[in-house]
Amino acid sequence: MQSAWGQGDVAGADRGVVLRAELSALGPVAVKIGQTLSQRPDILPEDVCEELKGLQTSNEPFADNLAFQVIAEEFNATGPLAPGIPVTPGCDPNGPTLFAKLSETCIASASLGQVYRGTTHDGQEIAVKVQRPDALEQCLLDGSVIIAALKAIQGRYWNGDLLAIFDLVAGGVVQELDFRHEASNCYEFGESLRFLGYVDVPKTLPELTTRRALGMEWVYGRHLSDLSPEEAMRMTYMSVEAVTAGLVLTGQVHADPHEGNIMLADDGRLVFLDFGLMSGVEDDIQEAFASGIQCVLSKDYKGLVRAFVNTGFIGTPIEWRAKESDPWQTTHPKGDCVEVMAAELKERMEACPGGGSRFGALSVVLGDMGYSWQMYTPPYIILLIRTFLTLEGIAGKVDPEFNIYEVALPWAVQRALSPSTEAGIETLRSSLVTEDNTFQWGRVLDLIEQQKVQEAEEAAEAAAKAAGEGKDLPEAASARARLMAGEANKATLDTTLASASAAAQAAQAATPLESLVTVLGSAQGTTLRRIARDIDATEMLLELGKPAAQPVRRMAVDQLADALTVAAAETLRPILRRLPWRAKTDGNELAASLDSLGEACGETCGVDANALQPWPQSAQARIVRSRVRSRARSTGNKLLRLQASNLVGEGWRGVAAVCTLVLVAWRVLAAAVLRVVLRALPAPAAAAAAAAAVYAAVAAVPRPLFAAVGAATAAALAYRARPQPE
């Protein structure tokens, strides 16, 4: 192996192949080390990292007769394992068979064991996982040797975390050596994501669960390589949701979620496999990850730097150096390290195609920055990188506009709205209200402005794409960044694939609004409900009518107009096409116009129901969601009664606030209706006439009428806010 390693790029020498074969032959610990180092081009050359990735999905199997011996010993077999299987030593050839059927050779081989397919005597199809013989002794021996070797080279690499990597791998291997632990992990992981309704795990069989052998139900399904593009997109959306929910909500993360451990069941469920290695994420780290997702989408780079610090990706204090040979420093000549790093991050992210939507782009940027800014890689982060890059690559083949952060956003929002740490609670309160409980309209206006900038950037990117410019990530400077760019760019965009499937899956994915409802109706929503009670509703409504809130009103008009356009297209189209008079042609023109408008707005307001293949929903998940929505409605009604009571207590100021709400609602509705009319009418003259009529109708309404309506509304609120009988 030394010879092949020294030859490097010389023709005929493939260092990665040699190292992979040697690691596979050395045993389980070496294989796990190789799997982890396959994501560390800062430690090993790129070509070697690429080859070591093969250890993620395939390993050299051990002899079947040794596996059969383990099965017989662990399950206390007295006769043959199954018809056609050689009798193991110590068993009676004429005794009862353990299984009705068992495959003669393994169907899959992993680092610590291999899998056989069988059938029990009651007809249940199962998978039997068998541990490699002498795995424990081999792991202990390997661990001693590897610790000595790592200590000898510790400190030679830029982030100096080789022993931390080994600690993670060794701890996971020890746990994986007891399949009873894996069975427990399997159950707990499945229960943690049961609320999603479409995630499942194989059911383990207690009577076939021992330290070295594990029996579980056989799952009928396919892995990524066997899926159609539409099915791959379906699996991608569900996988991103499930992985992110574990990362920021439940704290139970599948620590080895490569392609071989995720499959799409024949009934549409997303099934995770192999639970020997799991990661637990603490509450503060969950909140930091959630904050980072939101910061990327909102282009808050100072917040993103703080999120990196909170996850342990960047140390405290932040360290910097001018060039690689210089020592690390805690000060920067340009000023505060957070400010300087955020500015550099902003510049690099905006210069990188897909900087706000592709995880691969962020990996490239951070890889290049890692030589001037001290960055650490907590072991649990290493195990997630490949998963997100893989999922992003799948999605890119079907939907070039797929944004992994947007799919993950609802869970990030849910975590942000239900903080469990003091820092998280303070952050949520300060982002919604001021110290005197005044609603933070300025934050809303900032988000709207950021959305406008993002839409302009997306439009420019779309124009560049139409002009034939590629969307591949740029050439990266560092080895780590080049590997990440290579991973992300493997998803060659195929414009011949229909993106309708992507739109259908996006329509079924979770939304931030659903996350808000969930938090309001859950036990974790205490902080959010307390803030909602404390908000000064009178001041909030008065601010809504001021010129500064015009962007908020315009956004409401845009959303309402799109929704009304879709509704009008569905309602008026059949009526217009049945007009009996000669102007039927005009009716058809209107119907056609409504058709195109409905389709255009439907991209954001909804998707054709006939195009949807509903995600599976368990009965348990449906019951839980129904209860949450019921509690959220009840909570919302109580909050409305409370705020109505507060408005009444404000006297004339409260009446003015209600009048402002009525006036704003009327203006938004009128403007939205006007926009729908202008969109639908093909004749410019008719559109102008309709616009003039609507404007005249709005202008003709006297302001005193608004005051009267406001007073009546205030009276109704006072009635609703009356004390309720117990």
Q: pLDDT, tens digit, for every residue of 648-691?
A: 888 888 888 888 888 888 888 888 888 877 766 655 555 555 55
Question: What is residue 374's predicted lDDT score, i.e. its pLDDT?
Answer: 87
Q: Which of 76, 60, 64 minimizes the C-alpha distance to 103?
A: 64
Question: In the block, which residue shows the tokens 């601010």?
Answer: 543
Q: What is this structure's pTM?
A: 0.75
**Which contiguous run of DSSP H or E holds residue 390?**
helix 379-398
Q: Which of 269, 258, 491, 489 minimizes the C-alpha distance to 395?
A: 491
371 vs 709 pLDDT, higher one: 371
Question: What is residue 673's predicted lDDT score, i.e. its pLDDT?
Answer: 83
Could you give the percent of the chain with pLDDT greater than 90? 16
Q: Is the pLDDT of residue 40 over 70?
A: no
Contact 438, 536 (CB under 8 A): yes
Tens of pLDDT, residues 153-184: 555 544 445 666 666 656 666 777 789 998 99
Q: Is the pLDDT of residue 6 over 90?
A: no
Question: What is residue 491's predicted lDDT score, i.e. its pLDDT?
Answer: 41
How far is the C-alpha of 432 from the C-alpha of 442, rounded, in Å? 10
How far is the C-alpha of 36 from the C-alpha of 233, rounded, in Å? 27
Query: What's the mean per-residue pLDDT of the chain?
Result: 76
How far is the C-alpha of 274 from the C-alpha of 103, rounded, in Å? 20
Tens of pLDDT, residues 362-414: 877 887 888 888 887 665 666 566 667 666 766 666 677 778 888 888 888 89
Q: Which of 97, 136, 139, 145 minimizes the C-alpha distance to 120?
A: 97
Which one of 126-130, 517-521, 696-700 scores highest in mean pLDDT?
A: 126-130
721 vs 455 pLDDT, higher one: 455
**Local structure of 356: helix, strand or coil:** coil
Q: Which of 416, 663, 643 minimizes the C-alpha distance to 540?
A: 643
CA 478 to chain centre: 27
554 vs 383 pLDDT, higher one: 554
Tens of pLDDT, residues 83-114: 999 999 889 989 999 999 999 999 887 777 88
Q: CB neighbours of 273 closer than 8 A, spacing ≥ 6?
A: 201, 202, 219, 260, 261, 262, 263
* Residue 714 burial (C-beta neighbours within 10 Å; 0-12, 13-18, 19+): buried
Question: What is residue 51's predicted lDDT score, i.e. its pLDDT?
Answer: 78
How far is the C-alpha of 407 from the C-alpha of 424, rounded, in Å? 22
